[in-house]
């Protein structure tokens, strides 16, 4: 069914910590009507779970390549995830 939410687990690498990447992600996700979460990882990367309509998820995946001012994204890798993992809002975790 085309109305089913699309859910992606996304790993973003590069200069993505210390540049408000998580706050930027939450703002962009909320503007697109997405739910999920974003967190910093110990290796300096950022991981996000995004869930929503296909077009909004696709747009967010493209926006990850730009990030906020000061970010320098070198890699964005996404994989399918389960809707069971997504909260009903968008959160910054850890």
The catalytic residues are 22, 40
Helix axes 21-32, 54-64, angle to 10 degrees: 160
Tokens of 91: 């959160």
User: 């890798």: which residue's tokens?
Assistant: 77
Measured CA to CA, the distance from residue 15 to residue 22 in angstroms comes to 12
Do 39 and 32 form a contact (C-beta atoms < 8 A)? Answer: no
């Amino acid at each position: 069914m085309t109305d089913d939410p699309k859910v992606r687990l996304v790993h973003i690498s590069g200069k993505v910590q210390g540049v408000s990447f998580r706050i930027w992600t939450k703002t962009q996700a909320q503007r697109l009507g997405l739910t999920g979460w974003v967190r910093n990882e110990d290796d300096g990367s950022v991981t996000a779970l995004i869930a929503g309509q296909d077009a909004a998820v696709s747009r967010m995946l493209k926006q990850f390549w730009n990030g906020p001012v000061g970010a320098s994204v070198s890699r964005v890798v996404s994989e399918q995830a389960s809707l069971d993992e997504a909260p009903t809002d968008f959160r910054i975790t850890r």
